[in-house]
Amino acid sequence: MTGTEISPSIEVIAALIAATLYVASYLSFVRLLKYPRNWFSPSLPASLVTGVLATFTVALVVLSADGLDLPALAITAAFFVVVFYIIAAPAIAFRPASRLSEFLAKHGEHAGLWLLGPALVAGLAVPNIKLQAVLATAMAIELTWFLRQRRSGRRRRLYPLNDHDRAVLEAQAKGDLVPFQRRNGIRELVLSEGTVSWNGCGKRTPPCPFNLYVNRLGLNTAPCCREHMKDLTHFIAACLSDMGVVHWLEGGSLLGAVREKGALLDWEDDIDISVLLDGDMTWERLATGIAKRGARDGYFVNLFEKKSFISISFDPPQRWPFRWERNRLRGEIRTDITIYRQAISCGEAVLERRSQKGAMPLTESGWYGVPREIVLPTSTIRFLGDDIACPKHAETYLHTLYGDFEKITYTYVDTEAAKIRGSVDAISN
């Protein structure tokens, strides 16, 4: 039997399998994006799974009894690269990224739909039903994504900006808010008849991409995001206390508690809490406990056992298969939990972690640590309106991380933006 004699029903079944393989590749790819969003390189096994699924999809489309369909090969391969780059751009742009990635991230809600025209032309030009099925499936996913984002975006509500938020915004915009808003795609900013407010995010809306606004544009953390960070911090602190886990406020969050007298840094982009695994408290117990409470109370939990790291986000977990599509969003409101363990380094009892924080020194094991006596037994400090655990000697701890911590430094804020906001902060202080 030659290729031209293949029955139509077999062709249709092959097209359905190709479409299913595309959906599997897509879901595997969006799951992979959790790594760049949490500052990690993608894991090898997860990358291989995605690569194999994408390769199977392309192979099924281009191979037939007639041999290799070269036009379909060129189109499918190019389409995969472009659509996956568009999907990944918001996660890539969590760090400073190329202009193209930043541009695509800014339009991440609808950029996939730009391929609608090319996909239609390619589908009509190349009479390959499997290719047409893949293109139609991809476009249906992009359209659904766009419609869901647009619908949930309507649930935003207005927040007033305080005087300092406005002063920083106006300084960064050099007094001209409209072109600044347009140039940077700040859709949350509402300017009408001399008033400035913020169309704020909520539990059921896409988050403000505030880490971009804070770190690239040098703005203050959005008022809605500040409110949700507070909610998230108290949820996690209560959760850890209930479980009997030794924990303490870490990094910039501890700095806010000490230097800003219990407030967030104005340019805060996440909350940091550290946890000690010791005695009965194993990774499994901690991870299971947090995951269960997150699912019950509506917070998204990401576990990274090999990195000794857990991130907990304000947005609620979605049902399968949409669970990982959240990784297409440009921002998130998050608390990072870093695991410490007890160790002896140079004859001294230390608490050490796998990743570096500030200027925390290396320990003998190649991790990074602080003397145990600085942290344990933990004390408490006022933070965002409630008491939360902190290192026993919080100021010594901060000195280990940041040296002269009373001096303001904008660690993750772009240089020019930091200089501008620095002059506003100096006046308001």
In this complex, which beta carbon is closest to Zn ion, that of residue 214 or of residue 246? 214
In this complex, which beta carbon is closest to Zn ion, that of residue 225 or of residue 381? 225
Tell the smallest beta-carbon distance from residue 174 to Zn ion (Å).
24
Tell the smallest beta-carbon distance from residue 3 to Zn ion (Å).
55
Nearest CA among 344, 360, 372 for reference residue 398: 360
Q: Specify the pairing of strand 67-68 against strand 63-64.
A: antiparallel
Q: Which of residues 188-217 bind Zn ion (CB under 5 A)?
A: 200-201, 208
Mask of contacts with Zn ion, 340-379, x by CB under 5 A? ----------------------------------------
Of 159-167, 221-229, 246-254, 300-308: span binding Zn ion (CB under 5 A): 221-229
CB burial string 231-263: b at 16+ within 10 A, e below: ebbebbbebbeebebbbbbbbbbbbbbbbeeeb
Q: How far apart are CA 380 and CA 383, in angstroms?
A: 9
Does 225 interact with Zn ion (rule: CB under 5 A)? yes
Does 232 interact with Zn ion (rule: CB under 5 A)? no
Tell the smallest beta-carbon distance from residue 143 to Zn ion (Å).
26
In this complex, which beta carbon is closest to Zn ion, that of residue 214 or of residue 394? 214
Question: What is the distance, to the nearest Å, from the Cα of residue 179 to the centroid of all Cα atoms in its chain?
Answer: 27
* Total site size for Zn ion, rule CB under 5 A: 6
Q: How far apart are CA 171 and CA 267, in angstroms?
A: 15
Q: Which of residues 133-162 bind Zn ion (CB under 5 A)?
A: none
In this complex, which beta carbon is closest to Zn ion, that of residue 271 or of residue 290? 271
Tell the smallest beta-carbon distance from residue 29 to Zn ion (Å).
27
Tell the smallest beta-carbon distance from residue 412 to Zn ion (Å).
18
What is the number of helices (H) and of strands (E) in the chain? 16, 14
Does 75 interact with Zn ion (rule: CB under 5 A)? no
Q: Evaluate whether 310 touches 272 at the Cβ level (below 8 Å).
A: no
Tell the smallest beta-carbon distance from residue 314 to Zn ion (Å).
9
In this complex, which beta carbon is closest to Zn ion, that of residue 155 or of residue 174? 155
In this complex, which beta carbon is closest to Zn ion, that of residue 332 or of residue 352? 332
In this complex, which beta carbon is closest to Zn ion, that of residue 225 or of residue 389? 225
Query: Residue 142: what residue type?
Result: E
Q: How far apart are CA 320 and CA 212, in angstroms?
A: 28
Tell the smallest beta-carbon distance from residue 210 to Zn ion (Å).
6
Q: Evaluate whether 130 touches 61 at the Cβ level (below 8 Å).
A: yes
Task: Determine whether 137 is exposed, middle or buried from the number of CB atoms within 10 Å of its CB (0-12, 13-18, 19+).
Answer: buried
Does 222 interact with Zn ion (rule: CB under 5 A)? yes
In this complex, which beta carbon is closest to Zn ion, that of residue 168 or of residue 360? 168
Tell the smallest beta-carbon distance from residue 201 to Zn ion (Å).
3
In the list 32, 97, 224, 401, the residue contacting Zn ion (rule: CB under 5 A) is 224
CB burial string 182-216: b at 16+ within 10 A, e below: eebebebbbeeeeeebbbbbbeebbbbbbbbbbbb
Query: Got the DSSP string for 125-169?
Result: HS--HHHHHHHHHHHHHHHHHHHHHHHHHTT-EEEE--HHHHHHH
Q: How far apart are CA 124 and CA 120, in angstroms?
A: 6
Interaction site with Zn ion (CB under 5 A): 200-201, 208, 222, 224-225
